[in-house]
Structure 1
């Protein structure tokens, strides 16, 4: 009986090895194809996100330019006249000069700019 089992193993052994090698090869091939598909999908996603980032950067620059233009004194004067706000420059008596002292330095540093505010 052991002799018979030995001959069965000798007969089907190479077929089992070949089947195992085929299964491993197919598994590796499927893994390779799946990985390539994932790389392609992520590449498309990255390209879309880079396009969106470029659009957002362009929009941010345009909005920054618009803000800078709206902050310009000429535009502000024009808007004051357009809306009839009747604003005027403060008199010198209305201007208060605030000096900011650093907590680490008790002495006033004359090289630092002073801040002004009006009432």
Structure 2
């Protein structure tokens, strides 16, 4: 009687192990398929993103903007120097700087105002 119990136990153990193995392989296959679908979708989105980036760059180009203004008949022209208002980003307590020469770059040390973080 003892050998019969051992045989049944061994069969159940082997059967359970085989079923676990098959289930694991099935899960691996499903996950592989899902990953493959996601990679295809990622490639499509990357291509679409690149097309949108190129379109945006094209639409922002000066030449395209001038063409569009001319095509729509908006009558826009370059502003005259009197129409240009230059704003200073210096804090109110800073001294006004002399205008820079072309190609010259300067920085101003900015300290936060009191009462502000």
Taking structure 1 as the reference length, the TM-score comes to 0.74
Could you list the runs of 4 or more consecutive aligned residues of structure 1 that deviate by over 4 angstroms after TM superposition? Answer: 106-110
Structure 1 residue corresponding to 2:4, chosen from 15, 24, 33 = 15
RMSD, aligned α-carbons? 2.1
Structure with the largest fraction of helix:
1
Alignment of 1:1-119 (within 5 A): 12-101=1-90, 111-112=106-107
Structure ranking higher on relative contact order (CA contacts 8 Å, 6+ apart): 1
Q: Which has the larger radius of gyration?
A: 1
Structure with the largest fraction of strand:
1
How far did 1:25 drift? 1.0
Query: Hey, what's the Cα distance between the residues in 1 that align with 2:57 and 2:27?
Result: 44
Deviation string 1:45-78 (CA, Å, 9 cap, x unpaired) is 1011101100110011011101101111111111
